[in-house]
Amino acid sequence: MTGQRRIRLFLDSNVLTGGIVSPWGLDKATLSLCAAKVCRLVLAEVVRDEVEENLLLHGERLPALNADQLIEDYRHLIELTNPEIIPYPDRDLVRLNRRLIRHTADVPVLMSAMASKPDWLLTHNTKHFTHAVAQRTSLRIATPAEFFRALSALFR
């Protein structure tokens, strides 16, 4: 897609982890769009660390060969997508913006997303990343299903 700006997708850890561990589905399709360079993966360090922790926990429940393959698949994904890395937000910034989202653990993720100004923030955590949060932060927050519905509308 030379010359055209790619859609920048900030993925929450549940979408990224789901896309890596699931054999198919919209999470995996989202990662495929990033791997094919149709979309640009925006990867916050706070999300990356959570995903790596989740993968290690998931890998502990798998046979050794499968766990090794899971980690290799993750490394390959990072290599293919060449993500835009967003550093951890400043602790004071996180503390000062605690009011923006209900769950304290999500504040660094939200601050990272706001700093990166993605086209979309994709998450399954609609309990915390609500419409009100989207309005307060000017972020376009959606599930992968909502994102794909919006994407398909471009072709109608």
Cβ–Cβ < 8 Å for 5, 41? no
pLDDT over 60 at 47, yes or no: yes
Please give the tally of structural domains in the chain.
1
pLDDT of residue 102: 86
Residue 2 placed within a domain: no
Residue 132 placed within a domain: yes
Residue 1 placed within a domain: no
Domain with 79 in it: 7-153
Residue 131 placed within a domain: yes
25: confidence class by pLDDT, cuts 50, 70, 90 = very high
Residue 90 three-state SS = coil
Region 52-60: mean pLDDT is 91
Q: What are phi and psi of 35, to 5 degrees?
A: -65, -35
Region 40-62: mean pLDDT is 94
Residue 137 placed within a domain: yes
Taking only the tens place, the pLDDT of each residue in 108-126 is: 999 999 999 999 999 999 9
Residue 22 Cα distances to 15, 25, 73, 125, 152, angstroms: 10, 7, 12, 17, 23
pLDDT of residue 3: 64
CATH number at residue 131: 3.40.50.1010
Taking only the tens place, the pLDDT of each residue in 66-85 is: 888 898 999 999 999 999 99
The residue among 30, 151, 145, 15 whose CA lies nearest residue 81 is 30
**Cα separation, 111 vs 42, whole angstroms:** 13
**Cα separation, 17 vs 27, whole angstroms:** 8
Residue 37 placed within a domain: yes
Residue 52 placed within a domain: yes
pLDDT over 60 at 1, yes or no: no
